[in-house]
Every structure is written in structure tokens, then in C-alpha cells.
Amino acid sequence: MNQNQTGSRAYLFSIVLVAVLGGLLFGYDTAVISGAEKGLQAFFMGAKDFTYTNGWHGFTCASALVGCVIGSAVSGFLATNLGRKRSLILAGLLFFISAWGSMMPESFGLFPKGQPTYSLLIAFNIYRVIGGIGVGLASAICPMYIGEVAPSNIRGMLVSWNQFAIIGGQLVVYFVNFLILGSHANPVIDMVNGANQILNPDAAAWTTATGWRYMFGSEMVPAGLFAILICFVPETPRYLVMVGQDDKALHVLTRINGSSAAAAIISDIRNTVTEKTEKLFSYGFLCIFIGIMLSVFQQAIGINAVLYYAPRIFGDMGMDNPMVQTVIMGVINLSFTLIAIFTVEKWGRKPLLITGSIGMAVGAFLVALTFGSPEFQLVTMVAIMLYSASFMMSWGPICWVLISEIFPNTIRGKAVAVAVAFQWIFNWIVSSSFVPMFNMHLTQGDHFGHWFTYGLYGTICVLAALFVWKLVPETKGKTLEDMNKLWRK
């Protein structure tokens, strides 16, 4: 009886934990390529019917991002028409199909096993795009799902766990790839007479033939678990009211919040859900613009250039073992994400974003000033860690919190889809422009590209702080139904 009055935190945390698995898969799928790409490159370099160039390798490493844009773009349509829960089941199935197909693109006897061909490369990339669609769906709908089931006083903290799971998924896959590789060697690929060649192919034979397959296939375990467990969580109360299933919505709200609070919340939801959906700009242009710009700034401040290319950056700094610094940075990232989780409901969304933007700007400008100077090597490394840690306590988790809660109920599905699609587009722009910008030279041997790249990221961080200060509303402690009143003004 007491639980019926107060609600069950254990029930709430158990369904949020399942939804957060989607974030873990998001991190896992985007990072698995980092360990597998060298073996994959060596495998397709053995093709007889085409030449596997650096351009092909770049596209193959990034092909999942194409799916991410597609998945996030259709997430609003699916979340509105299929529901949040069934859309997440679909994402889980796509993750599983992608993991299987990336491991065995020769499946169903379409291609001869173990023989690299142009057709097999196309099949492999199609499976990676399928996984990317799953990532796009999960990246938009997991925070939306958590935001719609969580009570307003702990919503920010619970949605922030999604970012923790994303970073956790990346760390897990680094560790899994390390275990799969074991004592086997990664192929060393170098340009000889203008063409890529594998140095010492015998030492790397297992990794080239088999290792990369196990790395992609390992994702089937968390993907299968997610697809099964998501079947046992409830649909969100906001969606249930939108489709006229008020009794089911009240039952879920009662289990989470207790009977008296549930009655008040469902009354609020009914008042805001006058129709199933409204047009995207029903609450004005500013509402959508702020959602899009939160996504654009989260990527334009350049974090993925650091996360994706950390070993390369630390190597260019002259570090003996770049992977050690990369792992240290991963642990720091996880620790600072916890700071955001435990302070977001005390400090609020805006103070964390502004503080993080300033910390990132300081870190980026320090890197720009010290990169390439041997006497300042330690300062450069600390500056990169400051830049990354500041992101993890601010833009990493808090952007997802705001995107999940800032839009009114009747446009949330479509608005989140638009915002997250912009996030993936700018992720691709930043990731693909980093290496050319970083390697720019005005004169032989200068560090102009390093200065310019981090100077640019630092400037964007300052603009991000100003944007949050002037335009972004504080949502701490507000219900999702309060968003209607906020934007109606």
C-alpha cells in the first residue's frame, strides 16, 4: 500500500537501466571500428577485382555515420507512429543484424567465404549502415524514453546516465578488442612506391583473416540482450495518453510516482496533449532553433576529433605509447561524466553548460599555443585532458538532457529527430575535416594546422557559452508539461 502511495524507485531504475543499454550499444557500435579497422584494411587490400584505396578505407570506417543520419531522421516518425518502446526493439534488432552481417558479410552463401571482393565490400558497408540506423534511432529515442518516464526532480540525472553508458560502451569495446587481439599482431600498412602494402603479412595473418570479424561479432551479445529486455519495459505514459490509452498510462505512472502524484501528472499530460501531434513549428521557430543549435554546438566544439583520433594526436605530440594516454583520457572522461550526473539537479543545466564551455575553450586555446613545443609537452597533454573532461561534465550529457525535455509533448518525436539528425551531420563534418585541417602547413614543418584547428574549436566553445547564456531556458525542476507553457509565451 505504501509503495502505491510513493511509487517504486526500484521499478523506475530497472526500466531506465534497460533503456540505458541502448546508450551502451550506441558507444559500442561507433567505437568498435577503432580496433577492427587495421585488420579490415589489410583484408580488403587482398582484393583482386579492385584497389582498396585510402579513400575507400575512410568511407568504410565512417559508413555507419550515414546510417546514423538516416536513423535519427526517421526516429521522430517511428517514435510517433510505432511508439517509443517498439522503436527501441527495432533498434536492438538492427544492432544484432549489423553485428552478424559485419562479422560474416558472406552470410547466406551470397559470396565465397574469406575472399575479398568489391561486392563483399559493398555488402559489409550496407551492414554497417544498418547498424548506424540502429545508433541513430537509439541516440534519439533512448533519452526521449528516459525523459518521458522519469519524475521531473531526477529526470536530468537519469537522462545523464545515457551519456555515461555511451562512454562506458566505448571503453568496453576498447577492452573487448584488446582481449580479442590477444598476442596477435595488428597489420602494419605503409606506402611503398605510391601503393599501400602490408609489412610482415605472416605475423598479422590471423588478425587480417579473422580478428576483425570477432570484434564486430562481439556486439551481438549486448544487442541481443537489449532487444530481449526492452520487450519487458512499459511504453512511456506520455505516448500512451497521446494514443488514447489513459488507463495503461495511469498504471505506469502509479508504479513510478505513487497514486496521488500519478493522478496529477496524468491530468497535466491530458491538458497538453490536445491532439496526437502538432506541426513542427507550432511553438515558434525559436524552440526548434535552440534544439538544433544545442546539437550543432555539441559537435562543432570538436570533441569527436579528439575522441576518434586520440592515439594519432598523442603520437604526434611525441608520446612513447599513445594508447596509454588514450586509456587515461577514457577513465577521466568517465569520472567527469559522473560529476554531471550528480550535480545536474543541484546546479541546473545552464551553469554546467557554461562552465564546461569555458573549460573547453581554455583547454583548446592552451593546445593551440603549446602543441609541437617539446618543452610544453606536459602542458599540451593536460590541456587536452581538460578540454575532454570539461566536455564530459557539460555538453556530453547535458545536451541529451535538454534535447529530451525542452520540446513540448505533441512535437517531441519530430523535434528530437530533427535536432539529433543535425548532431550526426555535424559529427561527420567535424570528424572528416579534422585530419586535413590538423595537417595544414604554411611553410615546411610548421604547426599552423594544429594552431588553427584548436584555435577554431576554442572560439566555437566561447560562442557556445554565449549561446547558452542568452538563449537556452533553464529546465531544472520543470515538468515536461511546463514546456508547453514556456514556449507558448
Domain boundaries, the chain: 2-233, 238-272, 285-488
Rounded distance, CA 416 to CA 377, Å?
41
- For residue 235, give the 3-state DSSP assignment: coil
**Taking residues 2-18, what's their average pLDDT?**
83
The three cell numbers locating residue 264: 496529477
What would the 3-class secondary structure string for 162-208 be? HHHHHHHHHHHHHHHHHHHHCCCCCCEEEEECCEEEEECCCCCHHHH
* pLDDT higher than 80, residue 19: yes
Enter the C-alpha cell of residue 74. 526517421
**Taking a C-beta distance cutoff of 8 angstroms, is the pair 164, 341 a contact?**
yes
CATH architecture of 2-233: Up-down Bundle (1.20)
Average pLDDT (211-234) is 95
Q: Can you name the residues that pair with 189 across neighbouring β-strands? A: 198
Contact 441, 450 (CB under 8 A): no
Q: Quick check: helix, strand or coil at residue 308?
A: helix
For residue 414, pLDDT over 80 is answered with yes
Strand-pair partners of 195: 192
Q: Residues 13-27: what's their mean pLDDT?
A: 93
More confident site: 182 or 17:
17
For residue 292, the model assigns a pLDDT of 95
Describe the crossing of helices 377-392 and 322-347 by its angle, rounded to 10 degrees.
40
pLDDT digits 0-9 by tens, 425-436: 998 888 778 777
pLDDT of residue 218: 95
Residue 150 has pLDDT above 50, yes or no: yes
Report which residue type is found at 390: S
pLDDT-derived band at 316 (thresholds 50, 70, 90) equals: low
Amino acid in position 118: Y
Amino acid 482: pLDDT: 81
User: CA nearest 84: which of 398, 401, 409, 395?
Assistant: 409
* pLDDT tens sequence across 389-409: 999 999 999 998 899 888 887
Q: What confidence tens digit (pLDDT) does each residue in 293-309 have?
A: 999 999 999 887 776 66
Q: What is the pLDDT of residue 1?
A: 44
For the beta carbon of residue 256, count every other beta carbon within 10 angstroms.
21
**pLDDT recorded at residue 155:** 86
Whether residue 151 is predicted with pLDDT greater than 90 in this model: the reply is no
- pTM value is 0.82
- CA angle 446/357/284 to nearest 5° reads 120
Mean of the pLDDT values across residues 259-280? 76
Residue 65 corresponds to which cell in the numbers above? 555515420
Distances (CA, A) of 311 to 174, 177, 197: 12, 15, 22
pLDDT tens-digit map of 352-376: 999 999 999 999 999 889 877 778 8
Question: Under 8 Å CB-to-CB from 217, ≥6 apart: which residues?
Answer: 99, 100, 102, 103, 104
With beta carbons less than 8 A apart as the criterion, state whether 91 and 60 touch.
no
Q: Do residues 207 and 187 lie in contact, with contact meaning Cβ atoms separated by under 8 Å? A: yes
Q: Where are the alpha helices (DSSP H) in 371-479?
A: 377-392, 395-405, 412-438, 448-471
Task: Return the percentage of the chain with pLDDT > 70, whole number.
Answer: 91
Give helix 84-103 / helix 220-229 axis angle, nearest 10°: 160
CATH superfamily for 285-488 is MFS general substrate transporter like domains (1.20.1250.20)
Amino acid at 234: P
Please check the confidence at residue 5 and state whether its pLDDT lies above 70.
no
> What's the DSSP call for residue 209?
I
Q: Are 139 and 68 in contact (CB under 8 A)?
A: yes
Closest by Cα among 422, 416, 410 to 87: 416
Q: Is there a common fold for 2-233 and 285-488?
A: yes
- Measured from the Cβ of residue 437, the count of other Cβ atoms closer than 10 Å reads 18
Cross-strand bridge partners of residue 188: 199
pLDDT digits (tens, 9 = 90+) for 464-485: 999 999 999 888 888 777 887 8
Helix (H, G, I), strand (E, B) or coil at 102: helix
Q: Which of 90-94, 258-262, 291-295, 408-412 has the lowest mean pLDDT?
A: 408-412
Average model confidence (pLDDT) across the chain: 86
pLDDT by residue (tens digit) across 223-267?
A: 999 999 999 999 999 899 988 899 999 999 999 988 888 988 888
Tell me, what's the pLDDT at 171? 83
